[in-house]
Amino acid sequence: FLIPIFVTVLSVVILREPVGWRRWLAVIAGFGGILLVVRPGFREITIAHAAGIGVAFFGALTIILLRTLAGSERRSTLMGIIIAYSLVVNFAGMLPDFEMPRPTLLAAMGAAGILTGLAHIGLVQAASGAPANHIAPVQYSQIVWAILLGALFFAEVPDFVTFLGLGVLAMSGLFTFIREETRFGWSRRIPILRNRL
């Protein structure tokens, strides 16, 4: 959930997109929400936290790059390069400890690959139709899915402070989304949203 914060910063630095003071306040509030969830000083900070920050940064950079390239490159090119890099990097990573997966695991990985591919196609489409800092706040809906799937499959239920942090984070993202819609009416200029398909 750091991705929208990084996207806002990178959209100013790289894309030179205007970001008003209200959105900066929303970014600061979102970061405060993240601090409530992670609670540095009250919990041990591990390598997993650093990995999470790295994933968020590179995820945000992906959105920025898609926004830059979506208008000039074909969707097949954007998808193809991601697939090629993924195959090479994952192949190299699996070599040291390779073990042939069971058929059920192969089926699960195939389903995950298909869903990831569909999600990436959607991200490319979104990047070609809206500014990067408008796409990122929608990712806050992952909070709901993370809570539901965590409770359903792993019996993980967040405590009150975590829910509070997630709420602050979600509200900051929704504020950004609604504020930009009010100012620019960008969803009316994107056919799939305008027609509510």
The whole-number pLDDT of residue 140 equals 67
The whole-number pLDDT of residue 43 equals 67
Cα 170-176-178 angle, rounded to 5 deg: 100
The whole-number pLDDT of residue 181 equals 54
The whole-number pLDDT of residue 193 equals 40
User: Rounded to whole angstroms, how far apart are CA atoms 193 and 30?
Assistant: 26
The whole-number pLDDT of residue 194 equals 43
C-alpha torsion sign, points 175, 176, 177, 182: positive
Of residues 176 and 124, the one with the higher pLDDT is 124
Neighbours of 41 (CB within 10 A): 8
The whole-number pLDDT of residue 103 equals 92
pLDDT tens for 43-83 read 677 888 788 888 888 888 887 887 777 667 676 776 777 77
The whole-number pLDDT of residue 188 equals 45
- Whole-model pTM? 0.58
Reply yes or no on whether the pLDDT at 10 is more than 80. yes
pLDDT tens for 137-182 read 666 677 777 888 888 988 888 888 888 888 887 787 677 666 655 5
User: Rounded to whole angstroms, how far apart are CA atoms 74 and 149?
Assistant: 34
The whole-number pLDDT of residue 108 equals 93
Q: What is the mean pLDDT of the chain?
A: 76
Percent with pLDDT over 70 in the chain: 76
In contact, 142 and 1? CB cutoff 8 Å: yes
Cα 49-35-159 angle, rounded to 5 deg: 90
Nearest partner of 123 among 63, 34, 71, 170, judged by Cα: 63
What mean pLDDT comes out for the span 25-46?
78
